[in-house]
């Protein structure tokens, strides 16, 4: 059993942790899906503080004799899972950033070509193919292209 002062101090720390997570969520510094992970963590800590016998039970389930050894092993396992989760998130974000950077580069190249006049305004080229040419010279007949003028 934990001393009463230690139990109260731990409960106060967990409440402050809950408030900090809510503040981060409110200021949009923490996404909702990560907030749920931290709430679950705080809830498990609160359960262990309020019911210290749960740690003995969990330790006996996996065959650990000492409650402190179980606490360290569970803490290390939790940290490994947390690092694995964050690594997965970073990998997805890296792929997204790479894709966005490539799309941005393609758009910048297209804008630069349009500004220099090296690329037709219509990327399909249908506007230049719709004009009729005069014989084999490849020139357009101005009379045909002028509006309201008939030959």
pLDDT in tens, 52-106: 889 889 899 999 988 889 889 989 998 999 899 889 989 999 999 999 999 999 9
Taking every pair of C-alpha atoms in the chain, what is the biggest distance, in angstroms?
105
Decide if 59 contacts 67 (C-beta within 8 A): yes
CA dihedral 100, 98, 36, 23 (to 10 degrees): -70
Kindly tell me the burial class for residue 70, based on how many C-beta atoms sit within 10 Å of its own C-beta (0-12, 13-18, 19 or more): buried
Residue 145 has pLDDT above 80, yes or no: no
pLDDT at residue 119 in the model: 65
- High-pLDDT (> 90) share of the chain, %: 46
Confidence of residue 33 (pLDDT cuts 50, 70, 90): confident
| pLDDT value of residue 56 | 87
CA gap 99, 92 in Å, rounded: 11
Scan for tokens 């709430």, then name that residue: 39
pLDDT at 146: 46
**Residues in CB range of 46: below 8 A, 6 or more apart:** 11, 14
pLDDT at 85: 86
pLDDT tier, 34 (very low <50, low <70, confident <90, very high otherwise): confident
32: pLDDT confidence band, cut at 50, 70 and 90? Answer: confident
**Stretch 25-40: mean pLDDT, rounded?**
89
- Nearest CA to 43 among 17, 20, 67, 25? 17
Q: CA 54 to CA 50: how far, in whole Å? A: 9
CA distance 55 to 67: 6
Prediction pTM value: 0.59
The residue count of the chain comes to 151
């Amino acid at each position: 059993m934990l001393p009463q002062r230690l139990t109260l101090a731990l409960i106060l720390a967990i409440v402050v942790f809950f408030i900090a997570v809510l503040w981060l969520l409110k200021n949009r510094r923490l996404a909702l899906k990560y907030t749920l992970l931290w709430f679950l963590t705080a809830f498990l800590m609160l359960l262990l503080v309020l019911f210290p016998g749960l740690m003995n039970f969990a330790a006996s389930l996996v065959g650990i004799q000492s409650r402190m050894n179980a606490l360290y092993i569970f803490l290390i396992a939790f940290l490994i899972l947390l690092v694995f989760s964050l690594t997965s998130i970073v990998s997805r974000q890296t792929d997204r950033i790479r894709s966005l950077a490539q799309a941005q580069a393609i758009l910048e190249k297209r804008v630069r070509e349009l500004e220099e006049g090296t690329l037709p305004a219509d990327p399909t080229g249908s506007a230049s193919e719709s004009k009729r040419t005069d014989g084999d010279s490849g020139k357009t007949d101005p009379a045909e292209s002028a509006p309201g003028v008939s030959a």
